[in-house]
Amino acid sequence: MNNINWNDFKKIEIRVGTIIEALHFPEAINPSYKLKVDLGERIGIKNSSAQITTLYSKQDLIGKQILAIVNLTPKQIGPFISECLVAGLYKNSTDVILISPDQKIPNGTLLE
């Protein structure tokens, strides 16, 4: 395990967002969705690509609050630009479970 100091951790901006749109992403190499995530008034709506199709339907995702890393450099994934990283944990080698708050919280709230 590589340790980082507190200042390094504080550089990572993890915020609460709500998924407002989920579309199939047929151009992706691995089965994925294209997501629109509302990250609050300050940050706005960001795009993300997520390989979460095995455990979540598009309908399951709409309105779901998640955690997202919002200050990564945008990443080109085929014809799509992912602007934030939706946080998840591998349940097994292929299935990802999204990380979400257990109570409703304002979009844009910072993990501290």
Task: Write down the pLDDT at residue 93.
Answer: 86
6 belongs to a structural domain = no
Per residue in 12-43, pLDDT tens? 999 999 999 999 999 999 999 999 999 999 99
**Which residue range forms the structural domain that includes residue 66?**
11-98
58 belongs to a structural domain = yes
15 belongs to a structural domain = yes
65 belongs to a structural domain = yes
Distance separating alpha carbons of residues 16 and 46, to the nearest angstrom: 12
109 belongs to a structural domain = no
Q: By the 8 A CB rule, do 105 and 16 touch? A: yes
**Helices in 1-112 by DSSP H: which ranges?**
6-10, 40-43, 58-61
Residues of the chain with pLDDT under 70: none
- DSSP label at residue 10: H
- How many folded domains does the chain comprise? 1
43 belongs to a structural domain = yes
Task: Write down the pLDDT at residue 1.
Answer: 85
Distance separating alpha carbons of residues 63 and 21, to the nearest angstrom: 9
Task: Write down the pLDDT at residue 112.
Answer: 87
105 belongs to a structural domain = no
